[in-house]
Structures are given as C-alpha cells and as structure tokens.
Copies of this chain bind each other. A is one copy, B any other.
Amino acid sequence: MTRETFRVTFQPEGRSVFVLRGTKLVEAAGQAGIILNQPCGGEGTSGKCRVEVLESAPAPTPADSEHLTEGELSDGWRRACQLAIENDLVISVPQETRFFEQMILAEGKGAWYPFQPNLRKRFVSVPEPTIEDQRSDLDRLKAAVGADELEAGLPLIRALPSILRQEGPQVTAILEGNEIQWVEGGDTTDRIWGVAFDIGTTSIVGALMNLTNGQSRAVASRTNPQVHFGDDVVSRISYIEKTPDGLDKLRKRLIACLNEIIGELCDQADIEPESIYEATAVGNTTMTHIFLGVDPGPIAHAPYVAVVRESLDVKARELGLEINRNANLHMLPNIAGFVGSDTVAVVLASGMARQEQVQLAIDIGTNGEVVVGNRDRLVACSCAAGPAFEGARIRYGMRATEGAISKVVINEAIEVSVIGGGRATGICGSGLVDAVADLLDAGVIDPTGRIADPETARELPDPLRRAILSFEDQPSVVLVPAARSKTGQPILLTQRDVREVQLAKAAIRAGIEVIGAEFGIVTEEVSRVLLAGGFGNFIRRSHAKRIGLLPPIPTERIEFIGNAAATGAKTVLACADCRREAERISRETEYVELATRPDFQTCYMEAMVFPPPS
C-alpha cells in the first residue's frame, strides 16, 4: 500500500516536495532545500519561524495564537515549527524566517555574522591630471577611492591608462580586501556577484549571491563528473595514481562541471559571468586537492595526510573558472586528510564554534564527519560509513531522486512514500532508515539485525509475515510488491542490506562516542545535535535514534541545518571576517584518527547491535 502523500510548494522558489501526512513543515522545507530558522529548537517558544500559508491554511494552533495577531492569522501566517501537513499547501517563506539569510543578513537583528563581503565597489571620480597635479594614474585613483595603502596588480596597472582616459573620469573601483582588483568605466555598483561552491564526492552545488546585499539569487547543482572514475575518494586517488595525467584529467572534468554550473546560475539570474568577482569553495580534502591540481595521493595511504591544510587564495582564471578574469577564489581550509573544508564550513555555518553549549554536528555524505564541541574546544573525526545512506551497496538502493522510496511507515502493513508521487523504482537512505527502524519495532528484524524466519515468527501480523521471503538465498522483506513498483520487480530489503545499514550506522555512532569521550562529555548530554548534508535533512530524527545511528537524546534537540557546507561557503562570501574564523576552526579542531584509538573497536562492535525499543 502506498500511503497518502501531499504536495507542499514553497514560494518564491516555486519548489515542490511530496510528504506523508503529518510531516512537520520544517522537515518538508528541509527536503525542498529551504532551511527554516528555529531559534527555539523546535520547542515553539520563539515565534520567529513564521511563514505565510497562501492556500488552504490549517486552523491556527494555540501556539500560533500566542505569537501572531488576529490579522496575521487571518492572512494565513502560521508558525512553521507547529505546522503538521494534512493537505496540499502553498507556503511563502519570508527572508527573516530563513536560516541562512537570518544568519548573515540582518546585522543588528541578532544575526550571527554581519554582511561584510571581502568585495565591494566604490563609484568615484578620478580627477584628470594637470600640470599642477602630476600624480600618477594609480595615485590619483587611490586618492579618489580614499585609501592610499591599497595595492594594485600588474594587470590592472597595464589597463589603467586606457580605462581612465577612455572610460573615465567616473569609474567604479572593485576593492577586494586590501587590493584594487579592477576598475570599470561608469557606475557599476549595482552589479557585483559572488559564487559559492560545495564540491562533494558525488554532488556539486553552486550558489550565486548578490554581493550588494548578501541575498542568494540562484542555486544549481550537478553530479560530480568524476564519479565515472570511482564512487569514493579512495578509488579516485587510485585512478590518479594508475593513470598518466590522471590528476589533470579529473581536475579538468571538475572545472568543466563548475563552469556549467556557473553558466546555469548566470542564466537563472540573467547576469554575465564577468559580473562574478569572487568565488569561494569547500569540499572534502581529496576533492579540494584535485580542484587545486594538488596530488591527493598522500591522503589515501597511511598515515593519510593532506598536502595542504590552510586556506588558499588563487586567481580564478589560473584554475580555469570562467568568471571575471580578475576574480579571486577563496578555498576554505581543511582539518585533516579525511576531514575537509566542508566540515570547517559546517562548523562555521552552525555557529557551534562561538557558543558555550556543547553541540554535535554530523555531516553524512559519501563519508561521515562528526564534530563535537563549543567555543573553547572542538574535536572531529571521520567515519568510514560507506555510501549505504546514499543508496549504494543496497540491493535496490538509489539516490534521493524521483522514484525513490523516501519514507516507510509500518503499522499492520508496509506503506511507502515515493519522491515525485509516482511508483517506486528503489529506496534511498531515509527510506532505508525508516524501513529498518519500523521493522525493528515490528519485530521483523531482531536487535542483532537478523530478519525473522516467517515459518517461526507466528507473532507477526500476517501482512508483515507474508512480506518476508527468501531472495538469492537470503531472507528479505518486500517493501513494494512487483505489481505496484515501476519496474515490475518487487522492491526488497535484503538481509545484506540490513547488514550494510548496521555497518554504516555503527561507524558513525562509534565515531560520535569516541570523540564524545575524547571531549569528555556523555553524548546524550550535548545540547543540540545538528544534522547536515543531503541525507541528514531527509532522515526522520526518531528513526535515526531507533536504529542507534544517534545517541538517545530528546528529538527536539536534534536539528536539521541543511547543506551547511554550502551555507559555510556562502557565509565566507558574505562575511570576510568569517575566513579568519574558518582558519581558526581548521587550526584548532583536534582531529582524532579512529584507527589509532583503542576504544574505537569496542564502540564499533557495540554500535553494530540495534538498541532496544525505547
């Protein structure tokens, strides 16, 4: 049976997602890639998460009435943290309710980071020289900008006499940090854009930001074209080591992909690539090494070190990025060979490095990175979780795209929710966690992970017992029968799939426990768990605890922070000072190599077993 799903559309993006009845609006928004601000941690006490329901608004809850006026309520305003979806909805999300915009935009409104980009434009009039004023072109320009200590590079100096004489005397200076990056004729202060990249092993996301006001303007993503050369970082490195010019090949593919994303972003925003004056990028250590053309070889072999940890600034044109020829690319710093700048970006974007409370951030992508700590101390590790949560190595696994089972609910029978609302072709990570969690609760899977024998498990409800069959000599559970799948084949959860889930979740949980012990905190006592990354934002929090992926902490303390790596990349685009903070996070975060920890194997073995029902 396929359970009832509803379409929720978010404006002004016009992005729709399909969710099961009762899903919280905050989670639906997360699925749509829109992370809502929840200062209350989901407890309904702040009233700062308001959204406007444009069609079919549900009746206000008492908590809605407490924080909203009658006029607002009748206009459709509701509090996102209170809203459970019971019908199709169209929602408008204002800027101030958006996590990221809230974070950077509104200086003086309690925002974490001020809008202070590294790049700014200044429209000035450069006086023409006279016999009484024989200052050089550059000296007159600097004086007009009002900053004598600015530097200028040779390319600008070469272009300056003709810019001033043919397009001046009114010009716009583009200032980057301590440098005059370029000068343009006329007033172009309204055109200044930046692009932020999150370079994942599997997916690459680019976001275009208007650097006059810090607003995100467009997002585009692509599958990393390097996946043809290996699913994970180790197989990519192995390809590089075996192939002449392998590094250059992978690098060029990546650059071509980034340029495609740039093209799409410019199309979406109707701007020219020349108007993009700065880029920032994050990624895991291997991806950033390849991007920069630095041999990632040492990362793959003991003792697994990076070549470079620090942040780097490189002229974008030297890397081949097709944006303004003078644009700078700022690459955020890494932490270790397997904890990259994407993790630094997560820590930065979450604000955890500034708070007194101890928080736990988990970014599950092709690998899992975990960080615990506060403003005084941060400890991180990398968990070899494998790609099970991305659907790989699962018999009917797939990524979270159209046709994937993204939710599974088991009461008497098995009900699934399919991305896009059509028939299922496979199952993605969040569906997998749902299935395992509910099958555990139903007794179909026992705490050691074994699928019950239908002959002996007489206590199971009939529909569940009938769903168990033997497939390729292993017990399996039919999630969608052949008659209702898109492929005409049944979609199964096999015994081996359950083992893969156990290995993956045990790796992450053991990492959590080891760094918790290293930090000196009982993991249940962290003030917040922050779930980042594609998988993190689709998972059901109670189920992540049910299978033991997360420690048993109250669900309301578990928060989705979206693609926080990309948010971090945007943060340093909008806030130059945050680069120093990122550098501090990179330098001061203690990296724990799990392989060297005597307690890791014990934690890992213990985490393999599923916890008892709560």
Binding site for B on A (CB under 8 A): 129-139, 152, 154, 157-158, 160-162, 165, 292-295, 297-298, 302-310, 312, 314, 318, 334, 336-337, 591, 593, 595-596
Contact = CB atoms under 8 A, between A and B. Distances in A.
A137 B304 contact: no
27 contacts: A131-B304, A134-B305, A134-B336, A134-B337, A134-B593, A135-B309, A136-B307, A136-B336, A136-B337, A137-B305, A137-B306, A137-B307, A137-B308, A138-B307, A138-B310, A152-B310, A154-B292, A154-B293, A154-B294, A154-B312, A154-B318, A157-B292, A157-B308, A158-B293, A160-B307, A161-B294, A161-B295
B295 A131 contact: no
How many monomers of this chain does the complex have?
Answer: 2
A303 B131 contact: yes
A285 to B, nearest CB: 9
- The listed residue with most B CB atoms (<10 A of its CB), out of A133, A160, A293, A307, is A307
A485 to B, nearest CB: 47
Contact of A134 (B129, B160, B304, B318): B304
Contacts of A131: 302-304, 593, 595-596
Given A131-B593, A303-B130, A309 B157 contact: no
Contacts of A292: 154, 157-158
Contacts of A154: 292-294, 312, 314, 318
A304 B130 CA distance: 9
Given A134-B303, A305-B134, A312 B161 contact: no
Contact of A136 (B139, B161, B302, B309): B309
A139 B310 CA distance: 8
A526 to B, nearest CB: 26
Contacts of A129: 298, 303, 305
Nearest to A132: B596
A303 B138 contact: no
A154 to B, nearest CB: 5
B157 A307 contact: yes
A134 B591 contact: yes
B137 A298 contact: yes
5 residue pairs, one from A and one from B, having the closest CB atoms? A136-B309, A136-B306, A129-B305, A131-B303, A137-B307
Contacts of A158: 292-295
A180 to B, nearest CB: 11
